[in-house]
Amino acid sequence: MECVNYLHHKQICHRDLKPQNIMFLNDEPNSIIKIIDYGYSFNFMIKKEDLNEVLGTPYYMAPELFSGKYNEKCDLWSIGVMMYYSICLNYPFNGKNRE
């Protein structure tokens, strides 16, 4: 959450948060967490507009992404899905495709 808070403070929306994009700096018990893969990220400081592209990994995508108008809060949905999965060992919503 601290990493995402930092990104959002800098007005950056990651748009593809998932376990595969979260890494530890080293093998130490209190290692620093790093977020990687900024290929879909968006900086609101550079472009002041609504986000409208449907991007990301379907299991972790917020519903508003499909509406064509969303903001950085979609990253919080992705964190919620990761937390849900870590507790229940399955996804809150399943499907074979985005539809």
Of 16, 27, 37, 75, the active-site residue reads 16
The question of whether 16 is a catalytic residue gets the answer: yes
The torsion of the CA quartet 16, 17, 21, 25, rounded to 10 degrees, works out to 140
Lookup result for tokens 């959002």: 8
Token pair of 24 as six digits: 């530890």
Token pair of 66 as six digits: 């499909």
Inter-CA distances, 59 with 16, 30, 66, Å: 10, 28, 13
- Please list the active-site residues: 16
